[in-house]
């Protein structure tokens, strides 16, 4: 699969062409602004699990008990409390 690096300005000018290259040829692209990578365009992959299949299988899947669910929620809350506050790159 081919890969190219393109400036955000050039990508904007030829956006339709870029999307077509990614979709039809499988090419991927990294978009850069002032030499810094800011985004990637890649071809879509096949869905891992169609929603209809998941919905059909859901009743047969194992589920947490109420106690397990509470412990999981506590573990998640404890893990989040230990993380630094994320910095907003747009601020």
Looking at the structure, give the CATH architecture of the domain made up of residues 3-44+51-81: 3-Layer(aba) Sandwich (3.40)
Domain ranges within the chain, ordered by starting residue: 3-44+51-81
Burial zone of 24 (CB within 10 Å; 0-12 exposed, 13-18 middle, 19+ buried): exposed
* pLDDT tens-digit readout, 35-72: 999 999 999 888 778 889 989 999 999 999 999 999 99
- Counting residues of the chain whose pLDDT is more than 70, the rounded percentage is 99
pTM of the model: 0.50
């Amino acid at each position: 699969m081919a890969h190219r690096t393109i400036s955000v300005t050039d990508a904007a000018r030829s956006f339709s062409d870029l999307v077509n290259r990614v979709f039809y040829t499988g090419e991927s692209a990294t978009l850069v602004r002032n030499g810094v990578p800011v985004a990637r365009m890649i071809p879509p992959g096949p869905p891992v699990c169609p929603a209809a299949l998941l919905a059909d299988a859901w009743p047969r899947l194992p589920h947490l008990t109420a106690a397990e669910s509470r412990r999981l929620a506590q573990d998640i809350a404890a893990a989040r409390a230990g993380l630094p506050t994320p910095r907003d790159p747009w601020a």
